[in-house]
Chain A
Amino acid sequence: MDLLSHLTLGFSVALSVQNLLYCLIGALIGTLVGVLPGLGPVATIALLLPLTYGLEPASAIIMLAGIYYGAQYGGSTTSILLKLPGEVSSVVTALDGHEMARRGRAGQALRVAALGSFLAGCSATLLVAAVAPGLTALALSFAPADHAALIALGLVASVTLARGSIAKSVATALMGMLFGLVGTDLTSGRERYAFGVAELSDGIDFVAVAMGLFGVAEIVRNLEPGGSAGVQLQDAGSPATSRLSREEWQLAWPACLRGTALGALLGVLPGGGAVLGAFASYMLEKKIARAPERFGQGAIEGVAGPESANNAGAQTAFIPMLTLGLPSNGVMALMLGALTLHGIQPGPQIMTADPRLFWGLVASMWVGNVFLLILNLPLIALWVRLLALRYALLYPAVLVLCAAGAYSVGNSYATVIMMAGFGLLGYLFVRLDCEPTPFVLGFVLGPMLEENLRRAMTLSHGDFGVFLSQPWSATFLALAALMLALTAIPALARARQVAFSEGG
């Protein structure tokens, strides 16, 4: 069977009245869940899982998948409007997206996020349909040494490309890595920095870190005497101004395409890959931009690229789950469980054993992306109007939602308290003019780097050569070294100049 007949089969499943309805319900719930801070797709899918028992397997998975990528869409909304990223990937969207909102261009930011996500979702779905087996092989061939090298490259890039002082970004990234160490050591099973607190023995949850450092700290900053952000947001414009100008569109669409390509490729890799997609796209856009200093000040490419990368990655993350039965993140693990309950075993045989389900899901992703665009474009006006609310009314509601979201992570107050702690730290960062982004990257990637580095070394029985003898790993490390050199040489030259002028 060729691609065309596969897709025909898929659309015949996805376009049945029943499945269209489940797809719409999924996309709707996903958007809602994404918009509510802290409440992620994992909690929602876990809650709704029992409701799908009575459905046909294809309908169930189509609805659950809708929740997943619907949440990716919705997540960007709170990132842009309130600087409240609920997931690692939307941390990047908050950077320039919220800056755009602060400058009264929330509508444009939301529109470009929606269009970028749509473009990325559609093309990534085609990619899933066309080259799923090839990408599967790529994911399998990626050894621990390659993962470690890729993550090292991501960390180096985050530090060298961050805004402001390099010393401060290195310091915050290292601090993030230290916080990432909290929890149980995988090899020895012993606890690190947990101080006998059971809630800390699994490490600190990302939701607490992101909502505290970004959302809570932002609220504290806005409430400072003389804090001005609220005022800026109030004249956030009418729906008519959410149209993109021709220049903006010309900047945005190539960024969307580049973001889609990066996100789709990295999304296939388990763990680190999905996280890196949005960051990699942001860094790429900043590197190739004519005026990189616009980034962090509301650059539209800084929203378009990462948002596309996010959504592309969300679609391609299905590849290893479906074709290998190997989930690359928490949501995929849940999907795998859901399919197993329905008596379907995702894995090498799914395309031959359950072609209706596989291709039906692929086609439904395309349908779901259309639904999401139709749902989200009219909502933009509504969201923007939300910002016209008095800040004194808005922020308590946001804080309550954040606390509820943090509570839902592990059904315990511990996460709420941690979120408050990270809120304080985030405010300290604001006062000290430190960027929280390297901290978040260090927090997420640090433990992954440790795990893969140790695993690679165990597998090679202590031989460091493994990082240079494998093509992927060697390439990533060479790129990281090049980036470091490019950053360090001008800095060193400047330092020498300063030294000379002082001496002279």
Chain B
Amino acid sequence: MKAWFGSWLLPLLALLGACASQGAAAADKPYPARSVRLVLPFPAGGPSDLAARGFARSLERLTGQPVIVDNRPGGNGVIAARQVAAAAPDGHTLLWATSSTQAQLRLQAGAAAPAFVPVGSIGKFAFGMFVSPAQEANTVADFVAQARAHPGRLNVATSTLSEYKAAAQFMQASGIRMVRVPYKGAAQALPDLMQDRVQVNFLPLAAGLQYVRAGKLKLLATLQAKRGDSLPDTPTMAESGYGGLTPPGWQFLLAPPNTPRTLASRIAALAGQALQEPELRGQYAKQLLEVDSGGPDALAELMKNETAAWEQFFRDYDIRPDSN
């Protein structure tokens, strides 16, 4: 009896011990143990790519492990998302996501979108309301008054879902009607805006600010929460009476589904440290990317609010994916 008891108890205990020691090993295992792959749903060269590459270099210096930016553009972000969703949940493959790509994913995959684990937020690109220099309006109120005087005559340019959402929320809040003219990117939309072929575009500040300085565009307001240090004289949309516009342009990190929360917190702590680096800060300041680092919980909250705003927008504007 005793012998029989020992014959299965001992291996069981040994097994339990092995599990425990392995668990302890996993927690002690240094992160990152090898190179980290940061998958980006954009081609090289754009603002998000530059931001991600700067962040990768900073993280590299901090951890001593290479951080590789892997551009997987296409499919409105679906291709990059699929790559990361299929990766091992060990923190060595991460997704650099933005408000727009997550919205696209939501739109295309709906509830079937992969359940990525939130890691942390990087920050957001500041947006502004740019109008053509031929417009007499110098404030948002002037612009709305003029649009009311000529209903349906003004055009609004949009290049991304985020710009579309900002324009839609503005039209809803002000009750004015404008014709939406879609573009592939700011490079195409800007000539038409400068020449007054379209009258307004909600753009990232970094894309339009230099034309304001050259007198080729007007900036009526920013979509920031408060006046920025670089533009102390430009009012925010909230000050102009349109506080309901959700700021677009968030950049954040996601991990593959089933990544342990403790690991996500560790990565977030490292990312927060990397974001403190002065050189990276300097680059982001030039890019007008406001650093706003937060851990998994803050990001989960942010994503919940974002998702709600996007779904409202999709419902209101009847934007649907292909009905299969």
Contacts and interface: CB of A to CB of B under 8 A. Distances in A.
A347 B79 contact: no
25 contacts: A45-B44, A49-B45, A50-B53, A184-B76, A201-B75, A201-B78, A202-B73, A202-B74, A324-B190, A324-B191, A326-B187, A326-B191, A330-B45, A333-B187, A336-B45, A337-B50, A338-B45, A340-B286, A341-B283, A349-B214, A451-B184, A455-B182, A458-B180, A459-B181, A459-B192
Contacts of B44: 42, 45-46, 49, 334, 337
B74 A410 contact: yes
Nearest to B54: A341
Interface stretch (B140-148, B194-202, B230-238, B298-306): B194-202
Given A184-B76, A336-B45, A196 B324 contact: yes
A199 interface: yes
A327 interface: yes
Given A198-B79, A270-B188, A345 B179 contact: no
Interface stretch (A73-81, A136-144, A159-167): A136-144
Nearest to B77: A198
Interface of B: 43-47, 49-50, 53-54, 57, 70-76, 78-79, 82, 107, 152, 155, 161, 179-184, 187-188, 190-192, 194-195, 197-198, 210-211, 213-214, 216, 283, 286-287, 319, 321-322, 324
B53 A326 contact: no
A8 to B, nearest CB: 26
Interface string A173-210: 00000000000101101110000101101100000000
A135 B237 CA distance: 37
Given A45-B44, A189-B161, A201-B78, 16 more contacts: A46-B43, A46-B44, A142-B191, A184-B76, A186-B182, A187-B182, A190-B321, A199-B79, A202-B75, A202-B76, A270-B187, A271-B188, A327-B187, A336-B45, A347-B210, A451-B184
Which 5 interchain pairs have the tightest Cβ spacing? A46-B44, A198-B75, A348-B214, A337-B45, A334-B45
B181 A455 contact: yes
Contacts of B49: 337
A325 interface: yes
Nearest to A321: B187
A431 interface: no
B195 A190 contact: no
Contacts of A411: 70-72
B74 A201 contact: yes
A201 B107 CA distance: 14
A191 B71 contact: no
Tell me which of B74, B286, B322 has the highest count of chain A C-beta atoms within 10 A of its own C-beta: B74
Nearest to A454: B182
A386 to B, nearest CB: 31
A458 B195 contact: no
A367 B294 CA distance: 50
Contacts of A46: 43-45, 71
A71 B5 CA distance: 77
Given A337-B45, A337-B49, A341-B50, A410 B73 contact: yes
Contacts of A190: 321-322
Interface in A451-468: 451, 455, 458-459, 461
A410 B79 CA distance: 10
B198 A199 contact: no
Interface in A121-148: 139-144
Nearest to A458: B181
A412 interface: yes
Contact of A348 (B45, B211, B324): B211
B211 A461 contact: no
A226 interface: no
